[in-house]
Amino acid sequence: MSLDKYKNMSDQEFKQLSNEEFQDYIKLKREDFPRHYRKINEITVGVVLKPDEAIAIAKQYHKKNNLDGVVNEDIHQLFFDEAYTFKIDKENRDNNDVRPAWRVLVDLPENPFLMEDYTLIVSDKDKKVMGMLDPNGHPVFKGNEFTDEDIEYIMNNEDSED
């Protein structure tokens, strides 16, 4: 069973789920979440980059672009996302650009004017930094700025009602 059966369900249909069906939905959601933010020892798909290679790519990008902070080289702080959404296609969800990526943290020095740490997204397939996430997890890179609606669309994994 997959979450697909719940994707096209209207709000009214969703509210009419039995307690057992709702518990199944919750279980499927919990099983789906670990595809994102996996620790290195939890990765279940083949990867192109080794963890230290992903960190080296992030460091090179960080230095080249003269970014604030220091790339965190602790492999235990490195996360892998089996299904990171690089671009979305609102017209056809099947055309979304979703592929594996490494999440490399950048630590910022304590400063009352700077926010928390941010994350560099290293595409496993492309072997390069494809973007950044702000401290709230929102994409912040050139050429693919997401709106609040886009972020909600990605996070909810549901088709928009537009």
In the chain, where the domains are located: 1-35, 37-156
What's residue 123's pLDDT?
93
Residue 144, pLDDT > 70, answer no
Residue 37, pLDDT > 60, answer no
Compute the average pLDDT of residues 29-48.
67
What span, in angstroms and rounded, lies between the C-alpha atoms of 116 and 25? Answer: 33
Residue 142, pLDDT > 80, answer no
Residue 36, pLDDT > 60, answer no
pTM: predicted TM-score of the whole model, two decimal places? 0.61
What span, in angstroms and rounded, lies between the C-alpha atoms of 59 and 2? Answer: 38
What's residue 160's pLDDT?
44
Residues 75 and 67 sit within 8 Å (Cβ to Cβ): no
Compute the average pLDDT of residues 61-69.
89
Residue 161, pLDDT > 70, answer no
What's residue 140's pLDDT?
74
Q: Within a 13 Å sphere around the CA of 121, how many CA atoms are in the beta-carbon half?
A: 26
Element housing 129 (H / E): strand 128-133
Q: Where are the alpha helices (DSSP H) in the chain?
A: 4-7, 11-15, 19-32, 51-64, 148-156
**Three-state DSSP class for 147?**
coil
Which two structure tokens, joined as six digits, stand for 74?
A: 């602790």
Which residue type, as a one-letter code, is found at position 78? L
Q: What percent of the chain is predicted at pLDDT more than 90? A: 20
